[in-house]
Amino acid sequence: MTAPLPSPGVRVRLGKAARKAAPLDAHADLTLRSDRDPVAMLIAGDTARVPELVPIRYGRMLLTPFTFYRGAAGVMAADLAGTPTSGLRTQTCGDAHLSNFGIFASAERTLVFDINDFDETLPGPWEWDVKRLVASLAVAGRHNGYPARQRRRVAIAAGAAYRTAMRDFAGRTNLDVWYAQVAIESLVEQMRTTLAPSQVKRTQDTLRKARTRDSMRALGKLSAVVDGRRRITAQPPIVVPVEDLLPEASADELFGQMQELLTGYRHTLPPERRQLLGQFHLVHMARKVVGVGSVGTRSWILLLLGRDDADPLFLQAKQAQASVLEDYAGASEFAHHGERVVAGQRTMQASGDIFLGTHQVGGRDFYVRQLHDWKGSADVEQMRPAGMAAYAQLCGWTLARAHARSGDRLAIAAYLGSSDRFEQAVADFAESYADVTEKDHELLVAATRDGVVPMRTGI
């Protein structure tokens, strides 16, 4: 057992005292280092990536300032390290931009809304996650053509939702906080009066589409029967079967490593889920390019079959590397980064993937999860300002809930207080950082034009 926490009164006083070190208004501040070089920082992060995939990463980042922002979590981590913090720490997502929230199935087969990317998760200042979120809203709002006044409303909506949710969680019991989650379908019904009919329809379409995204759908989309055996089909360079990547002997060796990975990973699951996984066997694997910031890291899709060919399970084994926050927030306590990711996800999510686990094989850290399980995400480019403001509130509440599960919610709530000073300050920060992001994007464009950075578009 851990030692008991200080009394609620002591924790509240601790939060209020933190305002002396970091006044609420100071969260508007953004001071960049004079030797800052975002392109050099991006290139430095390429050393551990698959070389032939790096140009795809930059091709995706080049599309817009927002896609650049999605791939530049490491750049922003360095920038956030110089901003004021209260000294209160939580388990952080590390990359809490608006596209890293979404819907997926709970173990009880209901659709829930939560954070869905934890590659960078690490204990650190809670403010960094909030600023990563609000700045993403400003960058996306600019891309969508929102005027400054509407962008500010969106950013304030996220900050205010975080602050008020944290105050609410401060008044709840530990178990109430742990069980809190967003059942997305009931939420959509509640928001019918605040969203335009077209926005409600798009949301309902997203929910319907999410329900079709499971292993059975992936079976038809990603695989075919070849010479009597079920195989993942090639869709290069996005999906490449292992035998198309390597000579036969090397492919067989890697397949053996994946079987070893699954054997070790199985022991990181609860007993009843080990038994369930044991009813499946690995039949094929392929490399899959995913996301923006993750492009170039090793990511394998694994096809397992159960009772017969119509009983599939698609898993994703994704390489875990050091969090971009570690140089600024401290090293992870875990033996390897797959453990870091899994522990962070289990801490922050209200309802997680039943097949989430981890193992280390071939000298590399991996975590494993389902490839498809009713997953869906918002179409950011189709959002109107009112819709993005509603989405920002949902993200702000969700982030506060995730932080309240691991951090001192009473101290953070006391620090934030009851005024709107915090959200006004982070809204200022968001616009300043959107300016920085647009300039950084221009620097990357110039670097690719000059041949400093390799680039491959259209993928």
Q: Residue 92 is which amino acid?
A: T
Q: What is the mean pLDDT of residues 339-354?
A: 95
Q: What is the per-residue pLDDT across 369-420, written as a single tens digit (0 to 9) for each?
A: 998 766 777 888 888 999 899 999 999 999 999 999 999 999 999 999 999 9
pLDDT value at position 352? 85
Task: Give the C-alpha separation, 311 to 322, whole Å.
Answer: 35
Give the tokens for residue 143: 């891309």
Let me know how long the chain is.
459
pLDDT at 459: 86
Question: What tokens were used for 126?
Answer: 């809670």
Three-class DSSP category at 172: coil
65-107 tens-digit pLDDT: 999 999 999 999 999 999 999 999 999 999 999 999 988 877 7
* DSSP string across 98-164: GGGEEEEE-TTS-EEEEE---TT-EEEEHHHHHHHHHHHHHHHHHHTT--HHHHHHHHHHHHHHHHH
Question: 244: how many CB neighbours lie within 10 A of its CB?
Answer: 12
Distance CA 387, CA 241 (A): 40
Among all chains, which residue has been given the structure tokens 């995730």? 402
- pTM for this one? 0.94
The predicted pLDDT at position 157 comes to 98
d(CA 330, CA 135): 24
Which pLDDT tens digit goes with each residue over 106-165? 777 788 899 999 999 999 999 999 999 999 999 999 999 999 999 999 999 999 999 999
What pLDDT does residue 1 have? Answer: 58
CB 102 within 8 A of CB 376: yes
pLDDT score of 156 = 98
* CB crowding 113-144: b at 16 or more within 10 Å, else e: bbbbbbbbbbbbbbbbbbbbbbbbbbbbbbbb
Q: What percent of the chain has pLDDT over 90?
A: 79
Identity at 349, one-letter amino acid code: Q
